[in-house]
Amino acid sequence: MKHSVSKERARKIRTREKQAGKTASDHLPTLQRPVYGYLLAMLLWLVTTLLVHADQFFGGAVANVPGFSIMGDAVFLLAGLFAVALALQMVVPQKMRNNARVLLLVLVALVATAAARVTLYGVQTAFPIRPEIVVFLIPVALAPLMATIMLGGITGALLGFWTSLVMSVMLDRSFAVLLTGIAASVVAARIADQVRTRAKVIRTGIVVGLAEVTLVLAVTALHWRSTDIMLVFDQAGACLLSGFLSALVVLLILPAFESLFQITTNLTLLELTDLSHPLLQRLAIEAPGTYHHSLIVANLAQVAADDIGANSLLARVCAYFHDVGKLTKPDFFAENLNQRGNPHDDLPPSMSTLVITAHVKEGLSLAMMHKLPTPVRAVITEHHGTSLVSCFHHKAKSQKENEIVGGNERVDEGDFRYPGPRPSFKESAIICLADSVEAASRTIEKTTPGHIEQLVAGIVNQKLTDGQLDDCALSLLELTRIKRSFVFTLTNMLHGRVPYPKDEDNQQSKPVANGRTEGQSIGRTSPGPGRGSGEGKSSS
């Protein structure tokens, strides 16, 4: 049956194109009143002003500094903070509405400013280094690197602009520090946005240092007649050392920030792609059908996420673990039945539904036990949404019609749905679709591109009409790209092969075009719980 999308549903989907895309890191219970964000911003301004003039306030030299000078710096910093906050509100409004993220930015900025103050004090106290070199030792790349890895490139660049302004004021309003800081922020935001290994973080810090060196050489070229060449070399070395140390500090403090703010970076996700994880090893041994299903869903989700610009690494990792709850009763799911009998034959539909839907709750318990990140837990609970377990719902209706003449008593559809919630971010929605598409693809008799395209379109449209994609901010254009990606991947995965000629001397079966062996039945196993027209098209 061909599914259609109503005009009202299509209108709702189009409105998502205007929404900011949600990310898995935006799932924190926070105080959402704007006043708390304003208070955090004012706290940042006050503490930053104290750090900038720490040598005057705490060194006993405040009497030698004109009060108007300190007040002017404070107003200048306040204006810069207002401009950066306004820019953040315009380009990443979703993050700025989350006060936990605002607090994160405040802490990163304060850590970077404090690191700059400690660097200045430590170097000037312990080493006889010329001031012209010291200004290039401060860690201008620390804040943009940290913010980019945790919250994205745009956020990192804008926060880097603010910390660059702060450090320039700290160093007697040095234009050179401001310029190098802005350059470091842009380079760090561009490169670190997709960083996935700790070694790449170090390389990014070195590249940022090279960008600062380029600016030093450019300034030298403008004043080459009066330039001390040895000083230029010393400044270049200071820039490289600053970039390297900034990256090193990021690696040291990043785990603490991830844990405190429940943020999952690509560095953590990459560690979870290791298939030797205890949960994945249990899946491979105790539920091999579910294990291979998860691998295929991961491939489908990763390619689709790449096509729409979502986080493909996040999609792959979440797909690996989305069905770990099936470990509690693996024999009750179709992909693990093999040649054994179907245990659902001896259970009423309502009990079978409870067993099937319970794998969501069981999966969440296992995820918490193994300390899986927040987005992985979210996908475990969301990958079925509130979908209908249609095979058992249909079975219950059939039994009720046979028991009651005329079928006056209705079966409550709500008793045969997953508890939810529905997918709340793009990667979760992709896995929801890939899960159903992979399961239903097992029931196709003819794996031609046309049949696969029809199957994928039907499942996606069914999810739309059922409201499962209402909370994930996917646009119609993105859904079209996801469907196209699924069709391409499945067509290549379910391809046929050229038949091998039969060896008369060796009667052993040979592979034929559909990938089976000669003499083996080409009919597909009828869909059971968790597969095909029942569980498969709505959930698996």
Residue 10 confidence (pLDDT) above 80:
no
What pLDDT, on the 0 to 100 scale, is given for residue 303?
A: 97
- For 270-284, the pLDDT digits (tens) are 999 999 999 999 999
Of the two residues 79 and 21, the one the predictor is more confident about is 79
- 3-class DSSP state of 48: helix
Residue 233 confidence (pLDDT) above 90:
no
The answer to whether the CB of 150 falls within 8 A of the CB of 263 is yes
Q: What H or E segment, with its residue span, contains residue 403?
A: helix 390-403
Instruction: State the residue for tokens 């990163």.
Output: 108
DSSP-assigned states of every residue in 321-348: HTTGGGGSSGGGSGGG-TTS--GGGGS-
Whether the bond between 421 and the residue before it is cis, its omega within 30 degrees of 0, is: yes
Poorest-pLDDT segment among 122-131, 339-348, 433-442, 517-526: 517-526
Please tell me which of 18-22, 68-72, 212-216, 228-232 the model is most confident about, judged by mean pLDDT: 212-216
Alpha carbons 60 and 58: distance in angstroms, whole number: 6
Q: Is 153 exposed, middle or buried (0-12, 13-18, 19+ CB in 10 A)?
A: buried
Of the two residues 6 and 491, the one the predictor is more confident about is 491
Written as six digits, the tokens of 54 are 């720490």
Residue 227 confidence (pLDDT) above 80:
no
Instruction: State the residue for tokens 């970039």.
Output: 243
Residue 30 confidence (pLDDT) above 70:
no
Alpha carbons 165 and 76: distance in angstroms, whole number: 9
Q: How far is CA 4 from CA 149, 423, 465, 472, 483, in A?
A: 41, 21, 8, 20, 15
Residue 537 confidence (pLDDT) above 70:
no
The answer to whether the CB of 300 falls within 8 A of the CB of 294 is no
Instruction: State the residue for tokens 């990958």.
Output: 383
Which positions ≥6 away from 123 have C-beta within 8 Å?
A: 129, 134, 137
How large is the angle between the packed helices 99-126 and 142-151, nearest 10 degrees?
Answer: 160
In sign, the C-alpha dihedral spanning 299, 302, 305, 309 is negative
What pLDDT, on the 0 to 100 scale, is given for residue 467?
A: 92
Alpha carbons 44 and 399: distance in angstroms, whole number: 66
Please tell me which of 42-51, 216-225, 529-538 the model is most confident about, judged by mean pLDDT: 42-51
Segment 24-41 shows an average pLDDT of 64
Query: Sorting pLDDT into bands at 50, 70 and 90, what band is 396?
Result: confident
Percentage above 70 pLDDT, the chain: 81
Residue type for 496, please?
A: G
Segment 442-449 shows an average pLDDT of 85
Query: Sorting pLDDT into bands at 50, 70 and 90, what band is 13?
Result: very low
Written as six digits, the tokens of 200 are 């790449």
Percentage above 90 pLDDT, the chain: 55
Segment 154-161 shows an average pLDDT of 95
Q: How many C-beta atoms surround the C-beta of residue 212 within 10 A?
A: 26
- For 293-343, the pLDDT digits (tens) are 999 999 999 999 999 999 999 999 999 999 999 999 998 998 888 766 788
Alpha carbons 62 and 60: distance in angstroms, whole number: 6
Q: Is 195 exposed, middle or buried (0-12, 13-18, 19+ CB in 10 A)?
A: buried
What pLDDT, on the 0 to 100 scale, is given for residue 300?
A: 97
Written as six digits, the tokens of 15 are 């409105």
- For 478-493, the pLDDT digits (tens) are 999 999 999 999 999 8
What pLDDT, on the 0 to 100 scale, is given for residue 96?
A: 84
What pLDDT, on the 0 to 100 scale, is given for residue 460?
A: 95
Residue 514 confidence (pLDDT) above 80:
no
Written as six digits, the tokens of 144 are 């943009």
Residue 218 confidence (pLDDT) above 80:
yes
Chain-wide mean pLDDT for the chain?
83
Cα-Cα-Cα-Cα dihedral of 250, 251, 256, 257, to 10°?
40
Q: Supply the DSSP symbol for 526.
A: P
Alpha carbons 98 and 350: distance in angstroms, whole number: 41
Query: Sorting pLDDT into bands at 50, 70 and 90, what band is 398?
Result: confident
Alpha carbons 53 and 38: distance in angstroms, whole number: 23
Alpha carbons 7 and 411: distance in angstroms, whole number: 29
How large is the angle between the packed helices 449-465 and 476-493, nearest 10 degrees?
Answer: 140
- 3-class DSSP state of 417: strand
Cα-Cα-Cα-Cα dihedral of 80, 81, 83, 84, to 10°?
120
What pLDDT, on the 0 to 100 scale, is given for residue 68?
A: 72
Of the candidates 146, 233, 228, 218, the one whose C-alpha atom is nearest the C-alpha of residue 176 is 218
Alpha helices in 29-66 (DSSP H): 34-52, 54-58
Query: Sorting pLDDT into bands at 50, 70 and 90, what band is 291?
Result: very high
- For 333-383, the pLDDT digits (tens) are 988 887 667 888 888 888 999 999 999 999 999 999 999 999 999 999 999
Residue 181 confidence (pLDDT) above 70:
yes
Asked whether the whole model's pTM tops 0.85, one would answer no
Q: Is 47 exposed, middle or buried (0-12, 13-18, 19+ CB in 10 A)?
A: middle
What pLDDT, on the 0 to 100 scale, is given for residue 274?
A: 92
Taken as a whole, the chain contains a residue count of: 540
CA angle at residue 191 from 272 to 20, to 5 degrees?
Answer: 75
Query: Sorting pLDDT into bands at 50, 70 and 90, what band is 11?
Result: low
Instruction: State the residue for tokens 């001896």.
Output: 346
Poorest-pLDDT segment among 78-92, 323-337, 523-537: 523-537
Query: Sorting pLDDT into bands at 50, 70 and 90, what band is 223?
Result: low
Query: Which residue ranges form the domains of the chain, and what is each CATH number?
Result: 26-265 (1.10.1760.20), 272-387+422-496+524-538 (1.10.3210)
What pLDDT, on the 0 to 100 scale, is given for residue 22?
A: 43
The answer to whether the CB of 45 falls within 8 A of the CB of 84 is no
The answer to whether the CB of 211 falls within 8 A of the CB of 236 is no
Q: What is the phi/psi pair of residue 417, to 5°?
A: -115, 155
Calculate the CA 103 to chain-centre distance.
20
Alpha carbons 210 and 220: distance in angstroms, whole number: 15
Residue 94 confidence (pLDDT) above 50:
yes
The answer to whether the CB of 383 falls within 8 A of the CB of 361 is no
